[in-house]
Each structure stands twice: as C-alpha cells, then as structure tokens.
A and B are shown apart, each in its own frame.
Chain A
Amino acid sequence: MERLPPFQVVLDRHSDEVWRVLRGMVGAQAAEDCFQETFLAALRAYPRLREGSNVRAWLLTIAHRKAIDHTRRRRHELPLEEEHEPAAPRAPEREIWSAVAQLPPRQRAAVVLRYGADLAHREVAELIGCSEEAARRSLHEGLKRMREEL
C-alpha cells in the first residue's frame, strides 16, 4: 500500500522554499501564478509518486519547469527586472534582486537553486537538466556577472 502523506503535509513542508525559488526565478508578482501552477501539477501527479521519492527535488523540478514556461511566455512582454522586485526591498537588497533578475534564465536558475535552496551542484544539474559540469559553469558565470553588476 502507498504510504504517501496527505498532500497538505507536502504543501506545509515545502511551500516556503518553492515560493522563494520561484520569487528568485520569475519575481514576486509572477511567483504567485507559478506557485499555484506548480502545486496544482504536483497535486494531480501526487498519487503516482513512488514511495521514498525525494519530494523536495520533485517539487523544485516542477517549479523550475513552470518558471521556464513563464519566462518563455513573457519574453516579449515585460522587462523582467520590473517584475522582480520584492514588496519593499532595502537598497542593497534591491541591487542584488536586480542583478539576479538580469541573469539569463539558466544562470539565474543555477544561482537561485544553489544559494536560495542550498542544492548541491549535482542536484542543480539534475533539476535543470544538464551535466554537473554545465551547472557549475552556469553558476560561476552567473556569479561573475552579478559581481560585475554590483
């Protein structure tokens, strides 16, 4: 018999982190829609999730996919950095948010997953679907670009 916990437990346990990763990847405003889409997709697929799966990695993979979809849809609409600012950031924070927002999607995902969710390089690679080497490179290029920006 399946021993998955009630979905509400998954929601309670992971909503903060999923929100923060989405906020980093698409900005606070768009994070709301991506968050709803992420958990709806997760709820639909949940009964088929195998016992003992890494629920956190599974959710972050879905969230990453939703963020990429969103970025593709919005590419020609709004400049990303405008959407990216949290409610009332203090000045140094605003600079960091702005620098994150200006990164290309792959580098932004690597930075957010590594520094916002503490994932190992291998986990980041699996999640965004590239080699570990490529994930490391994206992270370093992203950090370099941010330092130049700041």
Chain B
Amino acid sequence: MTDDDRLSAVLKEPDPRAGAAARRFAERAAASWSTDLAYATLASPIGELLLVASRRGLTVVYYADRGIEAPLAELAATRSPRIVASAARLDPWRRELDEYFARRREAFDSPLDLSSLSGFRRRVLLATARIPYGAALSYKEVAAKAGSPGAARAAGNALGSNPLPIVIPCHRVRHVGGGLGGYTGGVERKRALLAIEQQHG
C-alpha cells in the first residue's frame, strides 16, 4: 500500500457518527420547522402508511404499498422540496392512528393542514370529515352537504383524491343502495376500516 492509499483510506474511513448526525439534523429541522414538510411511516393493520405534516398540521396520509419514494417526489415537485424524515414530529398523529386501529379512539384531535384543497373538493372533504364514527352517508348526501345536490359523481371523484384517508373518513361514504363504492387504498381496506368501527360500537 502506498502512502497515498493509506492517507485516502484513513480520510475515507466510514464513521457511524455521520448517520447519527444526519438523523439529528432531520429531527432538529422538523422540530424548528426549518423544513416545510416532515414525514414518518406507520405500520398499521391495513398496511404501511406514509404520514406527512406541515407546520399547520397533517397534510398527507398515503397507503405506501409501493414505497414512499414516489409520493415524496410528488410532494417535492408540487408542495416543497424541503422535506425531511422525523418520527418525533409525526408522533401526535401516529399515536392517534394507533389508538384508532386499536379501537380506543373515534375522532382525531391533532391539527390538519387542508391548505392544498379548494372549491368543491374542499367542501366535499370537509363535509366528509364531519361524518361521525361508525356512521355512513351516500355520495349524494355528501354532495348535498357540499352545496351541490346533483353532483354525486363529482363528490365521488373528490373523495377518490382524498389526501387524508382514514383521518378524513371517506370510507364512511357509500352508494345509496348500500353498495360500498370505491376506495383510494382498495375496497378491501374500506371494508376493514368499517369493520373496525362496527366492532367498537
């Protein structure tokens, strides 16, 4: 080994302190909101969830069946590239969701950031957010509550792009005849969420 190689080997020697420093950085950036968005994942009974918060509140819940890279890249492009991982920052929502899945919680209390929503879509999702635990409305009823009684189909589309599934309970919206309708994360998940709520009551 030459002197140059030795020098290079010493200077490049891996150092576990680098990883620890990086994790500390991300947590601090989230704690002080130097970042615009913070994220964490949650292992739930219906699969891995990606949770993303801004300083205003929780802004995305995502079924991470195909990993978290794509949704995070999408957020970087559409909201802000200032995104870091922070388990601590997402802790209030992770705890509430854990309680929900354990049937110890019926409503979510920590703040939500709905600033990405506007117009009819916003009204539909706000109306959906008020559907009580264990209850159900039809697409038509949700459309009516959003101020457009004839727009059941459009209400369905708005719910299909719900950025906060589970927390904004679009699983509580179904067809007039009782048919389950579609669901962002697949209809099996809709059924699972409704089962959780039925068993609790």
Contacts and interface: CB of A to CB of B under 8 A. Distances in A.
Nearest to B10: A96
Interface of A: 1-9, 11-12, 15-16, 18-20, 23-24, 28, 31-32, 35-36, 39-40, 43-44, 46-47, 86-87, 92-93, 96-97, 100, 111-112, 115-116, 146-147, 150
Contact of A6 (B10, B25, B34, B75): B75
Given A6-B76, A15-B22, 14 more contacts: A4-B81, A6-B73, A11-B22, A15-B19, A18-B18, A19-B18, A19-B21, A39-B25, A43-B84, A47-B80, A96-B10, A115-B4, A116-B11, A146-B7
Contacts of A24: 11
Contacts of A28: 15, 17
Chain A contact residues, majority secondary structure:
helix
Contact of A43 (B7, B34, B39): B34
Contact of A8 (B8, B14, B17, B72): B72
Contact of B82 (A35, A43, A112): A43
B84 A93 contact: no
A5 B85 CA distance: 13
12 contacts: A1-B77, A7-B83, A9-B72, A11-B22, A15-B21, A19-B15, A20-B11, A43-B34, A43-B35, A111-B7, A112-B11, A150-B3
